[in-house]
Amino acid sequence: MRLTRSVVPFLLLVVVALASSACDKLSSAAGGGAAADSASAADTSNTGGSTAAVNLPVVADEVTDADLVLTINTTGQVRSDAEGRLRAEVGGPVAEVLVRPGDRVRKGQVLLRLDMRQFDLAVDEAQVAVDVATLAHQENYRPDSMATGQMPSKARLDASVIRSGLAAARVRLDQAKLNRDRATMVAPFDGVVDRLLVVPGDRISAGQELTTIVDLMNLRIEAAVLEHDLPLIKVGGEAVITSAALAGKSFAGRVQALLPLVDSTTRAGRAFVRASGSGGLRPGMYADVRLEAQRLPNRRLVPTRAIIERDGRPLVFVIKNGRAQWTYILPGRSNGRQTEVLPDSVSGIIPVNAGDQVIVEGHLTLTHDAPVRVVAKREQGAGAQD
């Protein structure tokens, strides 16, 4: 088939148009893919750049300049200075009981009363005897001479008082009044009623135990101290008292005396520690006692819990600008709660300053310059449970 000259130019134009359209589509597709790749890369870059560092919760305490008190740890039993087992001084039926176990009482407060009628009758009877004896004495109390009116001598008057029975009658009256007073029992000191062994209507006898009152404010602890530690304990030194029954609480005391005897079996003496019971200590409790043994003045102190080791060297984490900076230190003497920081052996400078915050909890796995935030102890504990 032969094409005419007019058809050939037309076919060439069609081929050129188709080729140009194909090139445009390929270019557009290539440009769109590059833009997508660029946007994806930007998104990836932005995602990585926006990842914020996590601030780890920690508990911190301050570095201080203070006296380092070295202590001796021991144990003892809490006792009361006054523990009264009150007994009846006279017998009779109980009329009133005015307190109950657990009641706080004041010195002189009435605890119970016996039936007063028998005691009132005894006083009345003794008074009558005094009156009769007085009349008999007055019969003997006459002047030696009716004319002169001269009175008998003192010796004769004393003899008359005795012969008439007036002296004995007066003694019996005083005894009856004393027994009446004893029928009302009062608290001998401030304290708390521990036991009450009678109720109204009971008939008691003289010497029978009625109640126990314990002074809970003035307490003492006889703390055992090994004989080689006794020279380190000073009268007037501080004492810190804790008890398993009162977890988280500590009480201040003071060494009042070192008792003279040393037990030949345990080789331990006793330190007499005075304490106050206002915070919950009770007689009979066993207590742990830290006794002041030596005081080192004006030392740079960090909490002992803040010190850890890395590569065999002791360090603490100091918080600076929200980051944990580990700082190597040279520890000195310690009392278990605080540790002295000594100057660096080369520079002579102490690497921590008073007022610095050092981490005491949450620092065992920290790295240098880790971002941290200081929280209360209970907040950190709650976060750990979550």
Label residue 51 by pLDDT band (50, 70, 90): very low
Average pLDDT over residues 348-371: 92
DSSP code of 161?
H
What is the chain's mean pLDDT, rounded?
81
DSSP assignment, residue 328? E
pLDDT tens per residue, range 154-212 = 777 777 777 788 889 999 999 999 999 999 999 999 999 998 999 999 999 999 999 99
Q: What is the pLDDT of residue 246?
A: 84
Q: Picking from 75-84, 154-163, 230-239, which range would have the lowest pLDDT averaged per residue?
A: 154-163
3-state secondary structure of 31: helix
Residue 127 has pLDDT above 60, yes or no: yes
Q: Can you give the pLDDT at residue 38?
A: 37
pLDDT score, position 3: 45
* 21-46 mean pLDDT: 42
Phi/psi of residue 15, nearest 5 degrees:
-65, -45
Across 116-130, average pLDDT? 94
Taking 70 as the threshold, does the pLDDT of residue 96 lie above it?
yes
Give the amino acid at 235. V
Q: In this structure, are residues 208 and 139 in contact, taking their beta carbons and an 8 Å threshold?
A: no
Q: How far is CA 263 from CA 18, 76, 330, 377, in A?
A: 117, 15, 40, 44
Q: Which two tokens stand for residue 210?
A: 């009625």
- Backbone conformation region of residue 66, classed left if phi is above 0, alpha if psi is from -120 to 50, else beta: beta
User: What is residue 84's predicted lDDT score, i.e. its pLDDT?
Assistant: 87
Query: DSSP string spanning 210-243?
Result: EEEEE-SSEEEEEEEEETTTGGG--TT-EEEEE-
Query: Is 90 exceeded by the pLDDT of residue 153?
Result: no
| Residues contacting residue 156 through CB under 8 Å, at least 6 positions apart | none
- For residue 148, name the pLDDT band (cuts at 50, 70, 90): low
Nearest to 64 by CA among 383, 353, 359, 278: 353
Q: State the pLDDT at residue 116.
A: 94
How confident is residue 336, by pLDDT bands cut at 50, 70 and 90?
Answer: confident
Read off φ and ψ for residue 66, nearest 5 degrees.
-160, 175
Most trustworthy range by pLDDT among 10-24, 229-243, 272-286: 229-243
For residues 158 and 3, which has the higher predicted lDDT (pLDDT)? 158
Tell me the two tokens of residue 176: 């009856």
Confidence at residue 313, expressed as pLDDT on a 0 to 100 scale? 92
Give the pLDDT band of residue 381 (cuts 50, 70, 90): very low
Report the C-alpha gap between 269 and 288 in whole angstroms.
Answer: 16
- Distances in whole angstroms, Cα of residue 104 to Cα of each of 84, 94, 194: 14, 21, 10
Q: What is the pLDDT of residues 235-274, one digit of tens each?
A: 988 898 988 888 878 888 999 999 888 988 889 999 999 9
Predicted pLDDT of residue 164: 82
Token pair 């008939």 in the structure block, residue: 203
* Residue 83 banded pLDDT, cuts 50, 70, 90: confident
Strands 56-62 vs 370-374: parallel, antiparallel or unpaired: parallel
The more confidently predicted of residues 232 and 139 is: 232
Is 79 strand, coil or helix? strand
